[in-house]
Amino acid sequence: MFKNLAIRITNKVWCKYSLLIVCLTFLFLFSPKPRTTAGTYCGEYIKVSQLGFVLFCDSYQYVFLTANPSLLLDSNFVAVRQNRPLYIYAAHVIGLPIKFITSAVIQSSFFKKLGGEKYLYQESINQKLESSPFLKMYKIDQAKHHNLVVELLPFYIAFIMMNFLVLLSSLVLFEKLLLRLSIEKYIIHFLSLFIASSGIVKAFFFSAHEQMFAFFTPISIAFLVYLYLNDKLSNIQLLLITLGMGILCLAYGSFILFYPCLSIAFLVKQKSLKISIKMIAILVPGAVLFALPTLSWMYICHYFSGHYFNGEIETFREIIWIKDTLSKGVLDFLATWTSFSLSYLHTVLITLTPFVIGIYILYKQKNKQQVALKNELFYHFLQWMFVLFFVFFWMLGYYNFRLTYTSVPILLLWIALLLQNLIDNKKVEPLKLQKRLTVLSVIWVVWSVIKYGPFPFQ
């Protein structure tokens, strides 16, 4: 009976990965407490009995803006997340029914009998929230916001639910793509662990943050390009998808890479660098549709609030640093670029090295055997996609392990094709490979849970 139930659960891909996420995130609650050295990480360690998790420092502003989304268009404020309205509004919509439920629970006699009020109405917690530098900028009216815990809790829960859904969507889409590539299930499950039990999940799952999109962005782009390369999309569908990805740019900035990836896919498919009329006919209207959501939101912001604030540009000068330094001279640009390159190399060595080494070993074993013909175009596209992501994050001017990890799903897809290639060309025994991957899976999960970090995540 239990065996049949287990088989049924594992056959439901969303159920299987839901259980995986729940189990792994629960295990992460037992991970070591971060060191308290100044600058070690941006956030604080929340301890609950013997368990604990990191609450990333941006969580305060995300949750407060979600509880008060009108601030995004308030002329008296400069909302630091004004360029991410889709994420804020989505969390607000999810949080409203949660707020209704939590309000009913808090007001119930049962809750009061349990003594729940003493946890919700702790003056020290409210004072801590009010004194947060991330909330001080909003000049909170203490008379109005007499209990920030009660006000913000439903929307914090909404962000955790969104983290779960985005991570689940990433894993489900990852498996669906690999199944289309005819990859063995045990290989898919093995590679999925590098997403579900990664340092990104460990550091950000319990925070109000967008970081789960670091997986969904490259996987969704790769999946859509695979459909295009295999003639599964009509021109109209492709334009609508382009518009949809443009809308998602209002949730997470890295979706901007979809359009250059699509352009690369056109060149890979036609096996030529020549720009054709057909390519122009699709990409030019697509460019307009892709940029339309962001341009429309910028107009709305200027119309209602009188300004548009993009923290990545205004605060961190991402990409714009190139223009800034060149305006001061070539030598200033070269000095900055060298410094930035060394910082980026540091994140690359720690984040990407294990996967790059794995690809190198597999490629050597590949012994010039070609991947399956039906996957050849996608295999070549992945190489160019990785180069694009690598260069993009190199040019940002803001370097962080969590950003660099966005390239990892691309490497995982690459590894999957190489592993399947070894099986197809009888370079390795499937049963022996499955046993080795099982052992590596256990080692990876245990290491992910017991290791310190991943920090710093400034």
- 241-292: per-residue pLDDT in tens? 999 999 999 999 999 999 999 999 999 998 877 777 777 888 899 999 999 9
More confident residue, 455 or 378: 378
- Do 124 and 264 lie in one domain? The reply is no
- Do 290 and 320 lie in one domain? The reply is no
* Average confidence score pLDDT of the chain: 87
The structure tokens 């994420």 sit at 87
- Do 367 and 218 lie in one domain? The reply is no
Does 399 map to a domain? yes
- Do 13 and 155 lie in one domain? The reply is yes
Residue 135 has pLDDT above 70, yes or no: no
Does 177 map to a domain? no
Does 201 map to a domain? no
- For residue 23 the two structure tokens come to 């189990």
Does 337 map to a domain? yes
Task: Please identify, among 124, 144, 159, the residue that sits at the C-terminal boundary of a domain.
Answer: 159
More confident residue, 102 or 171: 171
- Do 293 and 327 lie in one domain? The reply is no
Range of the domain at 148: 2-159
- Do 95 and 142 lie in one domain? The reply is yes
- Do 144 and 6 lie in one domain? The reply is yes
pTM, to two decimals? 0.91
Q: Residue 56: its pLDDT value, please?
A: 86
Which tens digits make up the pLDDT trace of 49-100?
778 888 888 888 899 889 989 989 988 888 888 999 999 999 999 999 999 9
- Give the pLDDT mean for 312-324: 90
Residue 142 has pLDDT above 70, yes or no: no
Buried b (16+ CB within 10 A) or exposed e, 380-397: bbbeebbebbbebbbebb
- Do 302 and 329 lie in one domain? The reply is no
Task: Please identify, among 308, 328, 360, the residue that sits at the C-terminal boundary of a domain.
Answer: 308
- Do 216 and 151 lie in one domain? The reply is no
- Do 327 and 412 lie in one domain? The reply is yes
Does 13 map to a domain? yes
Does 446 map to a domain? no
Which tens digits make up the pLDDT trace of 360-407?
888 877 555 566 667 889 999 999 999 999 999 999 999 988 899 999
User: Which of the given ranges, 109-113, 134-138, 232-236, has the highest pLDDT on average?
Assistant: 232-236
Task: Please identify, among 144, 159, 174, the residue that sits at the C-terminal boundary of a domain.
Answer: 159
The CA-to-CA distance between both ends of the chain, in Å, stands at 49
pLDDT band at 1 (very low <50, low <70, confident <90, very high): very low
Residue 81 backbone dihedrals phi, psi, to 5 degrees: -110, 30
- Do 232 and 248 lie in one domain? The reply is yes
Does 369 map to a domain? yes
Q: How many domains does the chain have?
A: 3
Q: Residue 362: its pLDDT value, please?
A: 86
Does 127 map to a domain? yes
The structure tokens 């096996």 sit at 271
- Do 297 and 324 lie in one domain? The reply is no
